[in-house]
């Protein structure tokens, strides 16, 4: 959630191909969500980019940093490849991705977009991060304790989904796919029109 706007992906539905509306201002509203991966073009682009970058090893003059970045998951649930692939997939779809810095900077914890709320104080310009691991608990996270990856940022604070540029194209493609699906499901019914003519043997 960013400035009161829900940025978490909603469940897929046949009536909404692009299912999560993110709005940072009246001039920069965009769509993103899990259902966009049902589009083969988007799926191919996202998986190719995220998997290619995630497969690249991190190299640092400090061995401890290299070890942490190549295997960052604090819970050891994800491999380094899967961790960075998740971060990049969220970044490419939503324009924003998050990871908590844990264990004194020796580990990272991947955070789903639905678990993070970002607010911007219009008076001071300060950015506040609120982490909600479940429905009952919310805690403010210091900006120094979180990695906020952003893409196509207009203000340097929050990102914009690259899919914003494809909104109309994806909608049209979805409509076209649904039309073809309906045609194949119902079958093609032929019709013969005869005007001012009598048919006989």
Structural domain includes residue 197: no
Structural domain includes residue 15: no
Phi then psi dihedrals of residue 145, to 5 deg: -110, 15
- Residue 31's pLDDT band, with cuts at 50, 70 and 90, is very low
Q: Is the pLDDT of residue 128 over 60?
A: yes
Q: Could you give the 3-state DSSP secondary structure of residue 115? A: helix
Phi then psi dihedrals of residue 175, to 5 deg: -65, -45
Structural domain includes residue 109: yes
Mean pLDDT of 101-125: 87
Structural domain includes residue 201: no
Structural domain includes residue 32: yes
Return the DSSP state at 16: B
pLDDT tens across 65-99, in order? 888 888 888 788 888 999 999 899 989 988 899 99
* pTM, to two decimals: 0.67
Q: Is the pLDDT of residue 149 over 90?
A: yes
Structural domain includes residue 2: no
Tally Cβ neighbours within 10 Å of residue 176. 10
Name which residue leads in pLDDT, 27 or 54: 54
- Residue 51's pLDDT band, with cuts at 50, 70 and 90, is very high
Tokens of 132: 């909600």
Tokens of 119: 């607010």
Structural domain includes residue 6: no
Task: Give the range of the structural domain holding residue 91, as residue numbers without chain letter.
Answer: 20-186
> What is the per-residue pLDDT for 37?
67
Instruction: Give first-to-last CA distance, the chain, whole Å.
Output: 73
Q: Is the pLDDT of residue 159 over 80?
A: yes
How many domains, in total, are found in the chain? 1
Return the DSSP state at 9: P
Average pLDDT taken over every residue of the chain: 75
Tokens of 138: 């919310």
Q: Is the pLDDT of residue 184 over 80?
A: no
Q: What's the CA gap between 44 and 63, in Å, rounded?
A: 34
Structural domain includes residue 199: no
Sign of CA dihedral 152, 153, 154, 156: negative
> What is the per-residue pLDDT for 121?
86
For the chain, count helices (H), then strands (E): 4, 8
Which candidate, 121, 122, 158, 124, places its Cα nearest to that of 140?
A: 121
**What percentage of the chain has pLDDT greater than the value 90?**
19
């Amino acid at each position: 959630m960013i400035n009161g706007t829900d940025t978490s992906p909603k469940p897929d539905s046949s009536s909404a191909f692009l299912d999560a509306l993110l709005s940072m201002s009246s001039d920069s509203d965009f769509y993103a969500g899990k259902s966009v991966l049902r589009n083969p073009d988007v799926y191919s682009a996202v998986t190719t980019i995220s998997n290619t970058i995630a497969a690249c090893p991190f190299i640092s003059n400090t061995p401890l940093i290299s070890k942490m970045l190549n295997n960052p998951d604090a819970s050891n649930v994800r491999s380094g490849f899967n961790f960075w692939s998740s971060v990049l997939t969220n970044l490419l779809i939503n324009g924003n991705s998050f990871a908590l810095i844990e264990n004194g900077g020796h580990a990272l914890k991947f955070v789903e977009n639905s678990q993070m709320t970002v607010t911007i104080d219009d008076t001071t310009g300060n950015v506040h991060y609120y982490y909600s691991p479940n429905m009952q608990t919310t805690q403010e996270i210091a900006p120094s304790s979180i990695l906020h990856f952003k893409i196509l940022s207009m203000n340097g604070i929050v990102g914009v989904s690259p899919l914003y540029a494809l909104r109309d194209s994806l909608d049209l493609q979805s409509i076209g796919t649904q039309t073809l699906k309906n045609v194949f499901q119902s079958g093609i019914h032929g019709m013969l029109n005869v005007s001012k003519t009598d048919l006989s043997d």
